[in-house]
Amino acid sequence: MAKLEVQNVSAGYHGRSVLRDMDLEYGAGIHVLLGPNGAGKTTTFRVLAGILAPFKGSVLVDGADPHIHTEIKSLIALATHRSALAPRLSVVDNLRYWARVLGLPPGHSEERIAEVLHLLGLTDLADRRIGSLSRGQNQRAGLAKAFLGQPAILLLDEPMSGLDPSTTDQLINHLRKLADEGHTVVVSTHALADAYRFADDVTVLQDGRIVGRGEPAALRTALLGTAYRLRIRGSGDIPAVLDRLGHHYEQQQQGAVIVEVPDEEAAERLVADLVSEGIGVREVVPARNPLEDVYQQLQTESTASDAT
Ligand SMILES: Nc1ncnc2c1ncn2[C@@H]1O[C@H](COP(=O)(O)OP(=O)(O)OP(=O)(O)O)[C@@H](O)[C@H]1O
């Protein structure tokens, strides 16, 4: 098993940050990175794969930085919609080329190539040039390349887009098998249904920040949660009082804190408690759950893609 760690990473393009203060830790399993268009999923993968160097923070694979120890990159395979396969070569010749690059033993590589072709339903298309394939077929060829060297860490950027239902089922079964064998599989998607269907855990990304992480069931509760989120500002040491009262809170800029309470009655009780502890409460306003915003965006995107 390979462990992938992201510590306090900010990264982006031309000096502009797309990802901000990202912390992640992935081990064996299927991890879903969920986020609407432009949230930063592909950028995250480029950083994880060692293609894009972060502005700050570090990415560690089994404790080593792939930007420094470049040999570690061989533990990682990245598949995106741009498959990086040669358009004039056939599917099988592309895979032969990559088998050599990856150093697969010559005696074993033809057998392995046949396996991945079969897995992705590409056996009958093996001699077709990449440039002549449909988008979905191209996507499958890119996945075949990613699976070829049996990497410890697989980063799959929207792998289901363009796949038909039976290939999708086959792919999910294969990912589950790999995860059970100890591989670290990270799958990005903007489809909530994917997250519920096969994720061991889900990380929700919006505007380059992680806004939620958990098991799919816990995420569903958080997305549809009924808790009241209050933003409170006032004079006095509010965090110290909240600690004393046993409330969890998030500290925000300008001295504001966010507290979650189960219902309106609890909200009123909290304000009364703060006042009786000597806090001069100046502002109590409902705070949106950031996950609710993401949820609405994802719903809108999936409705739009269903209509096309
Ligand atoms: N090469 C690049 N140069 C400059 N900006 C970029 C580049 N690639 C991505 N971006 C910007 O970074 C932000 C995040 O993009 P990214 O592709 O990582 O998002 P995403 O979550 O993968 O989106 P999608 O679901 O649409 O593929 C976007 O605002 C995008 O415009």
The finding on whether 83 has its CB within 6 A of some atom of ligand 1 is no
* Secondary-structure percent of the chain, ordered helix, strand, coil, rounded to 5: 45, 30, 30
pLDDT digits (tens, 9 = 90+) for 91-105: 999 999 999 998 898
Which alpha helices (DSSP H) does 131-215 contain, by range?
135-148, 165-180, 192-198
CB 119 within 8 A of CB 57: no
CA of 42 relative to ligand 1 center, distance in Å: 7
Helix then strand count (H, E) for the chain reads 10, 13
Cα 25 to Cα 79, 99, 129, 231: the distances in Å are: 20, 30, 39, 29
Q: What is the pLDDT of residue 303?
A: 63
Q: Say how far apart CA 177 and CA 194 lie, in whole Å.
A: 17
In this prediction the pTM is 0.78
Single-letter amino acid code for the residue at 41: K
**CA-proximal residue: ligand 1, atom 17 (nearest):** 42
The answer on pLDDT for 205 being more than 80 is: yes
pLDDT digits (tens, 9 = 90+) for 19-56: 999 999 999 999 999 988 899 999 999 999 888 999 99
Query: Average per-residue pLDDT in the chain?
Result: 87
CA of 234 relative to ligand 1 center, distance in Å: 39
**CA-proximal residue: ligand 1, atom 12 (nearest):** 18
The answer on pLDDT for 222 being more than 70 is: no
Q: Say how far apart CA 153 and CA 49 lie, in whole Å.
A: 9
Helix (H, G, I), strand (E, B) or coil at 128: coil
ipTM of this complex > 0.95?
A: yes
Task: Supply angle C-alpha 232, 235, 241, rounded to 5.
Answer: 70
The finding on whether 204 has its CB within 6 A of some atom of ligand 1 is no
